Amino acid sequence: MIYLDNAATTKPCPEAVQAALEAMTDNFGNPSSLHRAGLNAQLAMDKARKSIADSLGAAPDNLIFTSGATESNNLALRGISAAYGKRRRRIVASAVEHASVDETLSDLENKGFEVVRVSPRGDGRFYAEDFLAACNDDTVLLTMMYVNNETGYILPVKEVFTAIKRCYKDIITHTDCVQAYMKLPVKINQLGADLISLSGHKIHGVKGVGALYIRKGVRVLPVVTGGKQETGIRSGTESVPLICAFGAAVEKLSPTVNERYERVTSLKTRLLELLFAIDGVDVNSPADGSPYVVNISAAGKRSEIMLNYLESREIYVSSGSACSKGQQSGVLGQFGIAGKRADSALRISMTSETTEAEIEEFASALREGIANVRG
């Protein structure tokens, strides 16, 4: 099989599998227990927390483990709104956020917050001035993702957060770094973010674990209450196996972020070369986007039909405009890709393990699919 859907999920690396296995066999204690078995589980979790925090340039006690980035995003948005949203009622966001941010914003909107969604301009790019213009003294939170999961577009997070903090030092900044983490450098000081959401399964960890970085001094009220694990911000016995897998994946990938970026950039270059040679294929991703995600439109052929054709050749990609189970998210429309072009969008998402031969096989299957399928 040729797996080109790494923005949806990645294959767990052997180190992550091994770490999870150890925490399910030899080291299965509850980290809150006061005996040795509990302490050993706690130590394993501490190690993972330190590895992930180190990769961000953060202190370990500023990292909260969650069940995934969906929960991290919910916790960030709801927790900040609850802590600081009594008087300041505006939230500013990019209009291309993942559903776990966007749906949460809609819910907060229903609860009386004013949500301002900033769109890219006609050239498909975001500008710091537009975020600045959307913020006012009533603004409690600004949220914008780092890399868009559908197109690979890199949002100017650092520039926007710096500009905002200069004018409104009390606005809390949050960034969903799921598609950037371990692919581009993600450092707290460089981004100027107060909160950062991460997910384990997008970086060769295991599904069901994520993290939220919270800058020291920023108050996040809990969404899940109970036994006061994770400094009371996220109650519930931590999933030690998944956390250890997350840590092991970060330990493996952290030293090679730049090297892998270069490698995937050359894969993207090769992919584009092959795609430009196919009649009717449009590239929807910007040239300076993350090389890990390439969104294309396949000559007006409906995404699901091409998806099925490619699947019959054991090649797995995503339909480019789907956020979940084939529902259109509207994000491509925000980037000016609409109508037939959006309906025929495919997302190819790579990893550093992707080979040139796989890319070539995908391109030739796509060419044949375009020639052969109706629709």
User: Which of 16, 75, 118, 178 is the binder for ligand PMP (CB under 6 A)?
Assistant: 178
Residue closest to 79 by CA, chosen among 162, 147, 140, 7? 140
- Name the helix (H) or strand (E) containing 176: strand 172-176
Q: Who's near 204: CB < 8 A, 6+ residues apart? A: 10, 11, 12, 13, 16, 249, 252, 253, 351
Residue closest to 207 by CA, chosen among 241, 181, 182? 241
* Residue 51 sits in the site that holds ligand PMP (CB under 6 A): no
Q: How far apart are CA 364 and CA 341, in angstroms?
A: 20
Q: List the interface residues with ligand PMP, window 94-133 (CB under 6 A).
A: 98, 100
Q: How far apart are CA 163 and CA 69, in angstroms?
A: 26
Catalytic residue among 13, 135, 177, 323: 323
Segment contacting ligand PMP by CB under 6 A, of 20-28, 62-70, 110-118, 235-243: 62-70
Q: How far apart are CA 144 and CA 155, in angstroms?
A: 8
Q: Name the β-bridge partners of 143.
A: 93, 174
Nearest approach, Cβ of residue 100 and ligand PMP (Å): 5
* Residue 212 sits in the site that holds ligand PMP (CB under 6 A): no
- Are 101 and 77 contacting, i.e. CB atoms less than 8 angstroms apart? yes
User: Which of 69, 154, 171, 195 is the binder for ligand PMP (CB under 6 A)?
Assistant: 69
- Are 365 and 291 contacting, i.e. CB atoms less than 8 angstroms apart? no
Residue whose CB is less far from ligand PMP, 97 or 358: 97
User: Which of 79, 192, 210, 320 is the binder for ligand PMP (CB under 6 A)?
Assistant: 210
User: Which of 143, 149, 284, 354 is the binder for ligand PMP (CB under 6 A)?
Assistant: 149
Using CB under 6 A as the binding criterion, the count of chain residues that bind ligand PMP stands at: 12
**Cα dihedral 234/239/242/243 (nearest 10):** 50
* Residue 58 sits in the site that holds ligand PMP (CB under 6 A): no
Nearest approach, Cβ of residue 107 and ligand PMP (Å): 16
User: Which of 58, 142, 145, 155 is the binder for ligand PMP (CB under 6 A)?
Assistant: 145
* Residue 180 sits in the site that holds ligand PMP (CB under 6 A): no
Decide: helix, strand or coil at residue 84: helix
* Residue 199 sits in the site that holds ligand PMP (CB under 6 A): yes
Q: Who's near 86: CB < 8 A, 6+ residues apart? A: none
Decide: helix, strand or coil at residue 147: strand
Q: Is 323 a catalytic residue?
A: yes
Segment contacting ligand PMP by CB under 6 A, of 65-73, 105-113, 125-133, 349-357: 65-73
> Residue numbers of the site for ligand PMP (CB under 6 A)?
68-70, 98, 100, 145, 149, 176, 178-179, 199, 210
Just list the catalytic residues.
323
